[in-house]
Each structure stands twice: as C-alpha cells, then as structure tokens.
Structure 1
Amino acid sequence: MFYLTIDILGTIAFAISGVLVAMEKKLDIFGVFIIAFVTAIGGGTLRDILIGDFPVVWMRDYTYILVVLGAVLFAVLFVNQLKYFRKTLFLFDTIGIGLFTMVGVEKGLAADILPIMCIALGTITACFGGVIRDILCNEIPVIFRKEVYATACILGASSYFLFRQLPINIEYAYIGAILVTILTRLVAVKFKIALPNIYKR
C-alpha cells in the first residue's frame, strides 16, 4: 500500500507538470491530456519494457489513467490558482522525480537485479517522462541541460541503499531517499550548482 501510494503521488505530480507545460504551449484539451499522460507514465513504461514486465503497468491497471485524467481536470480548473507557471512546474517536477526515483528502485529490487541497475531504473523512471514531454513540446529536455536533475535521482537512489544498512524501518529509508532527491535538486537550483559544460565558448 505504501509503495502504491508513492507511485500514485508521483503520477499526479508529473501529470500536473505535463499540464502546465502543455498549457504554456497553448495546446488544446486533447494535447494537454496527451502531454500529461506521457509525462506521468513515459518513464515507467520504459522501465517496464527494460525489465520485461509486460503488459506495462498502466495497461494492467486503469487507476493510472483515471489518476492522470483527474490531475488534468484539477490543473485545468484551478489553473488561475497555480500561478507562476515556471515555479509551479519546477515544484511538481521536483516532487515527481523524488517519488518516481524510488518507484523505479523498488521495481528493480522486485525484479531481483543488481543495486546499480536499480539506481539506473530509478533514474529512468524519474527522468524519461519529462524527456518525452519536453521533446513533444519542442524543448531541450532538462536532463540534457546543465541543471542537476538526473544527478539528484542518482544520489537519492544511492542513498536508499545506504539507509537500508541502518537499523531503521524500511519505509523511513524509502522516505529519506525521496527527500534526498528532492532536496538535492532544490539546493542545486537555489545555489545555482550545475554540472560543468564540456564545450568552450
């Protein structure tokens, strides 16, 4: 139940971030739903394909489609309350990567793969919905810019395996790793910490 709750919360956060990008691009309601949907389920779909978990999760459980639809309706109805698009988008995107990183790690553990591969799956789950969203909206994906994005996912997922070595409840380790991911991104943006560019001006 705890795992499912985290998965649903991540789906909501990413769906709303997709809505905000789509509305900023002035797409129609169908376009808004599609962008929200691929943002919310894109990374998880790629993850399931990689580990051979078929049919992919949203094809087995229509809850995810209903959650995305609900998030779209909420965001459209309360768009005036969701002011300052960029800040709101950043917030939901950051929450989304924190939650989905651990969903991917948990999926990897359930598939009995190596911890380093679990970290990779967590990063893919968290990042690639946003990659698809940005490509469809004609933007350079955040993960390919110099912002700390995938790095935050990697640090958060890695911290989970460290927390598991401590004498604490496994759910606390889970929550701690989510917070590491979110805080890493927040701190990086706040203090303008970025990965170095490899090109010269």
Structure 2
Amino acid sequence: MTWDVMTIIGTVAFAISGAIVAMEEDYDILGVYILGLVTAFGGGAIRNLLIGVPVSALWEQGIMFQVAMLSITILFLFPNRLLKHWKRWGNFFDAIGLAAFAIQGALYATEMNHPISAIVVAAVLTGSGGGIIRDLLAGRKPVVLQSEIYAVWAALAGLAISFSIVTDPLGLYTLFVVIVTLRMASLIYKWRLPVKSLGRQKEHHSM
C-alpha cells in the first residue's frame, strides 16, 4: 500500500513539476507533456538500468502514465492568472516528488535484496533522476549538481530504509514528510554544500 501511494504521489508531483518548467520555458503543448512525462518516469528508468530491472518494466505502469497525463492536462487547462501563482509551487512539487520517489526507489531495491549501497543509489537516482533529465532538456543546470542540498535528502531516505530505521507505513509516511520539510528548508534558508570553484582563477589567468 505504501509503495503504491508513494508511486502515485511521486508521479503526480514530478509530472506537474516538469510541466511547470516547460511552461516557464514557453514550450508548446507537446513539449509540456513530454517534459512532464520524462520528469515523472526518467528517474525510474535510470534506476532500473542500474539495479538490473528491464527498462521495459516501466510500460507495465499503464495506470501511472494515465495519472501523469491527467495531472499535466489539468495543469495545462488552468487559467494563466492562476498558473502565475503556481510557478512558485514548482519547487514544492519537486520536493514532494524527490521524497516520494526516493522512498519508493529504496523500497524497490530492498525488496530485491540489494546491499545498502545499491539501496542508497536507487533512492538517489529514483528521487533525482527525473529532475536531472528535466533540467537538461529545459537547458538548465541540474539542481542536483549545484551547491544547494538536493540529492543528500534522497540518500538520507535510502539510508533510513536500508538500516531499517523506518519499516512500518507510519514510519515511511513520517520519513516522507521529513524529507519534504528538509528539502524546502534547504531552499528557504539557502543551505549549501561546500563548493570549490575554479571559475575565477581561470578568468584571472586569461587576463
């Protein structure tokens, strides 16, 4: 049950997140659907490749594709005056998708009896893979590769599940809320990972 709920939450959240980014970049309706679907299912495809599950397994999620399409359609039909406010929610939906899919990916790897390292990688890839593909297709620097904290929260979810810190549905839902809260807090309070930039040095040498 928890698996299904996390899959639905993640699919809807990332589909909307991808569609919002596409609208911000002035994509046409086809581009909005493509970016929404890629964001919703890209992370799962990358995860499947790395943990030995055929990518074609994604096509068995027919209902999830319908859910994603419906979510994008509803968003596309919203009046522009409301969508202007919805743009602010892009990061929130992205955080929901990150948390839901990180937990789902970790549960998936756990069910396949993979080691801790694989569970953490599955959590990170499922949680952030779709967002990476979305940002690349939109011509943006992927959030996960910037200094702001993003994939760390997915890894935290993977560790919590791999070490059996949370096992029951209530614990998993609590973990979901915690990950969303941490991701939004890192945005609001501008928490950053250490950065070592060589950009200025290059500029100085070129002068």
Q: Quick check: TM above 0.5?
A: yes
Give the partner amino acid of 1:185. R
Q: Does residue 1:75 correspond to 2:75, yes or no?
A: yes
Which residue pairs with 2:149 in the alignment? Answer: 148
Which residue pairs with 2:138 in the alignment? Answer: 137
Q: Could you tell me how far 1:161 is from its partner in structure 2?
A: 4.3
Q: 2:106·2:162 contact (CA, 8 Å) conserved in 1? A: no
- TM-score norm. by structure 2 comes to 0.89
Which residue pairs with 2:122 in the alignment? Answer: 121
Instruction: Tell me how far apart the structure 1 counterparts of residues 42 and 79 of structure 2 sit (CA, whole Å).
Output: 24
Q: 1:22·1:31 contact (CA, 8 Å) conserved in 2? A: yes
Which residue pairs with 2:48 in the alignment? Answer: 48
Deviation readout 1:84-109 (Å, 9 max, x if unpaired): 35421101000100100001001101
- TM-score norm. by structure 1 comes to 0.91
Q: 1:155·1:180 contact (CA, 8 Å) conserved in 2? A: no
Q: Does residue 1:110 correspond to 2:108, yes or no?
A: no
* Corresponding residue SS for 1:84: helix
Q: Could you list the runs of 4 or more consecutive aligned residues of structure 1 that deviate by over 3 angstroms after TM superposition?
A: 82-86
Q: Does residue 1:91 correspond to 2:89, yes or no?
A: no
Unaligned runs of 5+ in 2: 201-207
Instruction: Tell me how far apart the structure 1 counterparts of residues 17 and 57 of structure 2 sit (CA, whole Å).
Output: 21
* Corresponding residue SS for 1:56: helix
Which structure dedicates a bigger proportion of its chain to helix? 2
Which residue pairs with 1:4 in the alignment? Answer: 4
Greater shift in the superposed pair: 6-15 or 52-61: 52-61
Q: Could you tell me how far 1:17 is from its partner in structure 2?
A: 0.3
Q: 1:156·1:179 contact (CA, 8 Å) conserved in 2? A: no
Q: Could you tell me how far 1:170 is from its partner in structure 2?
A: 1.0
Deviation readout 1:10-29 (Å, 9 max, x if unpaired): 00000000000001111111
Query: Of the two, which has the highest radius of gyration?
Result: 2
Q: 2:7·2:100 contact (CA, 8 Å) conserved in 1? A: yes
Greater shift in the superposed pair: 141-150 or 108-117: 108-117
Greater shift in the superposed pair: 108-117 or 55-64: 55-64
Instruction: Tell me how far apart the structure 2 counterparts of residues 142 and 18 of structure 1 sit (CA, whole Å).
Output: 13
Greater shift in the superposed pair: 176-185 or 5-14: 176-185
Instruction: Tell me how far apart the structure 2 counterparts of residues 134 and 79 of structure 1 sit (CA, whole Å).
Output: 25
Deviation readout 1:144-197 (Å, 9 max, x if unpaired): 1111100111122223345x347xx61122112212221211221222110111
Unaligned runs of 5+ in 1: none
Q: Does residue 1:192 correspond to 2:190, yes or no?
A: yes
Q: 1:19·1:36 contact (CA, 8 Å) conserved in 2? A: yes
Deviation readout 1:19-40 (Å, 9 max, x if unpaired): 0000111111111110001000
Q: How many residues align?
A: 198
1:179 equivalent among 177, 184, 188: 177
* Corresponding residue SS for 1:134: helix
Matched-pair identity in %: 30
